[in-house]
Amino acid sequence: MKFLIVGLGNIGMEYDATRHNIGFDVADTFVIKHGGAFSLDRHAFVSEVKWKGKTFIVIKPTTFMNLSGKAVKYWLDKEKIPLENMLVLVDDLALPIGTLRLRASGSNAGHNGLKNIELVLMTDKYPRLRFGVGSDFPKGRQVEFVLGKWKPSEVPFVKDALFKSIDAIECFATQGIGKAMTAFNKG
């Protein structure tokens, strides 16, 4: 059984360890845990890891956040992975820092990466793991906030949620989205 795990973020060192790149961070943590490594391929950094009889194609699109759909479509088609076996890892301003929300489908909530995936795939019916990054920013400063680095006081919560995210991905792959939602959509 094959899964496509899509970490959303922006390429470039200036985006490393920013709130908007938490999808990349979750993808990195998952691949490292399973002994994989990324290499540059078509539209994305890609890693293939195997765990419990399952194959995970993990991508970090190189198309930048706002054009993520191009990479997603390419890798779904190339690897012949059904939409329900894809999990998109994305930052979410509406959730407190470190809060996780799995969804089987739903709104893009104004997130440009999700908007583009929805546009390219012509559906919002795909699983996603939303990672709370908080919303502690003055009015009109949303872009600066999401492209900003974590505060030192936030780092422990982020690290804890990173490891929970890996558990959520594994649960999604072994038990399905329903059971994963029950197990991880708390708080």
The residues that are catalytic are 20
CB 5 within 8 A of CB 58: yes
End-to-end CA distance of the chain: 31
CB 4 within 8 A of CB 75: yes
Count of alpha carbons within 13 angstroms of residue 10, beta-carbon side: 15
Dig out the tokens for 23 from the structure: 């999808």
What element of type H or E holds 69? helix 68-79
Instruction: Provide the β-strand partners of residue 56.
Output: 3, 49
